[in-house]
Structure 1
Amino acid sequence: MIPVGLTEAHRDKPDPATYLGSGKIEEIATAAREAGADVLIFDTPLSAAQERNIEKAAHIAVLDRTELILEIFQKRAKSREGRLQVELAKLEHLSTRLVRGWTHLERQRGGLSKTGGPGEKQIELDRRMLSERVKQLKVQLKKLERQRDTQRRSRTRGDQMTVSLVGYTNAGKSTLFNRLTRSDAYVANQLFATLDTTARRCWVGGSEMVVLSDTVGFIRDLPTQLVEAFKSTLEETVHADLLLHVVDASSEVREDQIDSVNQVLSQIDADTIPTILVYNKIDRAPAAAGVVRDEKGRVRSVGVSAVTGEGLDELRAAILEFAEHWHKDHPVKARELEPWEQAKLEAEARRAGKPTA
């Protein structure tokens, strides 16, 4: 999708029929035709009626903000769970605009029942088909969620802290994750490059290792359908002992992005989890470098560059400092390790990023 034009409009309140008013829509439609545009994208949610009216007036396809994000998610989803979650979100959204949705629903026919009572109206059949498929998806996702819970329990021990990376999309979470864990999770300079949660053990100092997870990026006004559909994936965040809120330090709107992430964390009941702000990309914004503490002496923020490695030692030290306090609240009965257990832990620590002597 290549942008060919941008128009901004300001109104005291949205027009109920076309959001921007018929005159502005005609102006935009003319500019779109002259530029050879195939679709009009509105950076705001539109009602089904508004989309229909705009398409009718402009004679061009229309996508609102929610539909655009869903399209991007569909292209990025790689795992079976990710694809099922996106499909569920799209169908939940489609159920609110069935009048214009039949052509989209046709693509889903392979997984839907086609039976219906005699004389059943098309809209009723559409609704039944959607409902059946949504139920199927929820059953499949519930099964995958149970598998995820089992995997989470198997990779965490009672004495091992869990840390989750969260942040606005494209803040550099996956690059930072790879740096800290010496792994090769997928990285790309694009929105929502990561949709599937990845977890690795990560060495943070001494003999301390934590389980670090990389999660889907957040965005301003993340559609409710996506929050609901990706709830099981976002649960990795809810179960964390510590959040590393990764921020693009070079962004001119970083404070707005921080607020957007905090809003989503509140939506999924993760806003009370202890959090360290990690200002990434300090190679582009040197002013964000260093460690900042609050009035109680606890680390509030750390500046790093996941690309150059600057600040990573300070970040590990901050995690280790938190872990030391965490262990006091989560005591485990100590025992002497067998030689084979010690060797296994040492090998695991090296894989997780501990430097060799």
Structure 2
Amino acid sequence: MELRGVAWDDSGLMEPDTTKRSDRDEAARVVERILARAGTAVMSGDVSASDADGEQFDREERAALRRVAGLSTELQDVTEVEYRSLRLERVVLVGMYSDDAEMAEISLRELAALAETAGSQVLDGLLQRRRTPDPGTYLGSGKASELAGIVASTGADTVVIDGELAPSQRRALEDVVKVKVVDRTALILDIFAQHAKSREGKAQVELAQLEYLLPRLRGWGESMSRQAGGQVGGAGAGMGSRGPGETKIELDRRRIRNRMAKLRREIAAMAPSRAAKRAQRNASSVPAVAIAGYTNAGKSSLLNRLTGAGALVENALFATLDPTVRRASTPDGRPFTIADTVGFVRALPHQLVEAFRSTLEEVGDADLLLHVVDAAHPDPEGQITAVRTVLAEIETLAQIPEIIVLNKADIADPGVLARLHAIAPHVVAVSAHTGRGVAELRDLIADLLPLPAVEVDLVVPYTRGDLVSRVHEGGQILHEEHTAEGTRLHARVDHALAAALRGETSAAS
């Protein structure tokens, strides 16, 4: 099928015909570039893993998650959340902008990548120039009718809106186009539902889905009767005419609320386990580094390059949902932990921010933040702003040192790299794929990580090799020498280990 771009102008402004035609032509070219897959985050045949990423055992499992065409999308039971069973095989994208056509293109490219990550095929795209969305059908009744014709001609089964639809807008638009209509939030929630693996991650995603679904419930099918309270003149349906359709919706709402309460209790019960693990790491006085950044910026690739973790690397949005913590060491031998966290995106659904708050705690408890930026992205500054907007909700973040890691430097514009180097005190350009700049990043991490608090210079008896081993594992060795009395250590260690070393030295003397 031949792909085509359609552009609308509904600004309501008095403009010459040539200006309107120019706007339509430019919007059509934008859509054509998106449909041609030029520059989007997901491109067929692209292999993004490098030798540093290990065997990638999870890749086969992830590749097996593919949608089956032709399945029903009807909501049979609310316990199977509607947005887990979306049919997203053949979609039409719809975007809207008022003035900035370039930002509209970037946003629609990202929406195309999100749709492909969810397992769909993008058939067509539409851009409308309009001051504000129509409160009824988002596009306006005339444009919604045009969209219905395009959907019918392309054989699409879903329309994806690059924005957030009110429940009434979604219902009205579905009634016109006669296929499923989802917005950007629902699409992101669907991707999260596919990719969550851990018990906590699945519970967090389901909670976010239910919060989104609750105000958007509706009766599916024309046969479901509705409640008709009061006297309905001439219709023969007055008091006592409560139909089964309304009763079913009320039951569904109650079951959703009960399920949400249960999920919140389960997530709260999982919090102590995560807190205990963090407390164990903190008790060992091993510094913690957290990786954060925009989705598909290369966070997992950087983790693999620094630690050999073998975390799943995929050229797709939100490939990583569950945090991965690994151990690494600085060039001078000091150990630290490094955590890979979930990526962020523009207009990240607030339901997900709330649901994944426990995951964000990994960032708040870190001693150093690696903020990974896709330097090859058309709008890296926009990515930085989007990530910082989400991270601003973490109160302790302002006190955490930050390194801006400009990833994909091997394919980025040198002019963009030069411009981005001025945005923060600590900026380093790397390529997690080739290893370029990683040594410089390791050195910068070593400079910014906190040093162990206590400096000791003493002789440890050979009978206490366990203490020497603890110094090697959790301290910084400044000088080590083997003498007749024992191992002479000049090192920096935490308070607990310093007390154990001094106590052993005093007992030996």
- Give the TM-score range, shorter chain: 0.7 to 0.9
- Are residue 32 (structure 1) and residue 180 (structure 2) matched? no
Which of 138, 141, 158 is the aligned partner of 2:267? 141
- Once superposed, what is the RMSD of the aligned Cα atoms? 2.6
Which of 323, 333, 340 is the aligned partner of 1:207? 333
Aligned to 1:124, the other structure's residue is in SS state helix
Alignment of 1:180-191 (within 5 A): 180-191=306-317
Pairwise CA distance, 1:334 = 5.0
2:204–2:267 contact (8 Å) kept in structure 1: yes
Residues 265-287 of structure 1, C-alpha deviations (whole Å, 9 max, x = no match): 11333541321100001111262
Which residue of structure 2 aligns with residue 54 of structure 1? 173
Aligned to 1:93, the other structure's residue is in SS state helix
Which residue of structure 2 aligns with residue 172 of structure 1? 298
State the one-letter code of the partner of 2:448. F
Which residue of structure 1 aligns with residue 209 of structure 2? 90
TM-score by length of 2: 0.60
2:290–2:363 contact (8 Å) kept in structure 1: yes
Number of residue pairs matched by the alignment:
326
- Are residue 331 (structure 1) and residue 453 (structure 2) matched? yes
- Check 1:137–1:162 CA distance in 2 against 1; reply closer, same or farther (3 A cut): same
Pairwise CA distance, 1:56 = 0.3
State the one-letter code of the partner of 2:404. L
- Are residue 69 (structure 1) and residue 188 (structure 2) matched? yes
Per mean C-alpha deviation after superposition, the further-off stretch among 188-197 and 126-135 is 126-135
Which of 118, 125, 150 is the aligned partner of 1:6? 125
1:174–1:186 contact (8 Å) kept in structure 2: yes
The higher radius of gyration belongs to 2
Measured in 2, the distance between the counterparts of 1:101 and 1:139 equals: 31
Structure 1 gaps, min length 5: 103-118, 350-357
- Are residue 277 (structure 1) and residue 277 (structure 2) matched? no
2:160–2:182 contact (8 Å) kept in structure 1: yes
1:290–1:311 contact (8 Å) kept in structure 2: no
TM-score by length of 1: 0.84
Which residue of structure 1 aligns with residue 378 of structure 2? 252
State the one-letter code of the partner of 1:239. D
Pairwise CA distance, 1:291 = 11
Which residue of structure 2 aligns with residue 222 of structure 1? 348
1:173–1:214 contact (8 Å) kept in structure 2: yes
State the one-letter code of the partner of 2:251. L
Which of 437, 446, 450 is the aligned partner of 1:320? 446
- Check 1:209–1:286 CA distance in 2 against 1; reply closer, same or farther (3 A cut): farther
1:165–1:245 contact (8 Å) kept in structure 2: yes
Measured in 2, the distance between the counterparts of 1:141 and 1:316 equals: 35
1:171–1:247 contact (8 Å) kept in structure 2: yes
Residues 171-191 of structure 1, C-alpha deviations (whole Å, 9 max, x = no match): 000000011012111111110
Which residue of structure 2 aligns with residue 310 of structure 1? 436
- Are residue 151 (structure 1) and residue 273 (structure 2) matched? no
Which residue of structure 1 aligns with residue 321 of structure 2? 195
Measured in 2, the distance between the counterparts of 1:221 and 1:263 equals: 10
Measured in 2, the distance between the counterparts of 1:18 and 1:345 equals: 66
- Check 1:318–1:242 CA distance in 2 against 1; reply closer, same or farther (3 A cut): same
- Check 1:321–1:60 CA distance in 2 against 1; reply closer, same or farther (3 A cut): same
Which residue of structure 2 aligns with residue 112 of structure 1? none
Measured in 2, the distance between the counterparts of 1:267 and 1:151 equals: 23
Pairwise CA distance, 1:10 = 2.0
Pairwise CA distance, 1:145 = 1.4
Per mean C-alpha deviation after superposition, the further-off stretch among 72-81 and 284-293 is 284-293
Aligned to 2:315, the other structure's residue is in SS state coil
- Are residue 266 (structure 1) and residue 398 (structure 2) matched? no
Measured in 1, the distance between the counterparts of 2:474 and 2:316 equals: 32
Structure 2 gaps, min length 5: 1-119, 222-243, 476-509
Which residue of structure 1 aligns with residue 362 of structure 2? 236
- Check 1:14–1:181 CA distance in 2 against 1; reply closer, same or farther (3 A cut): same
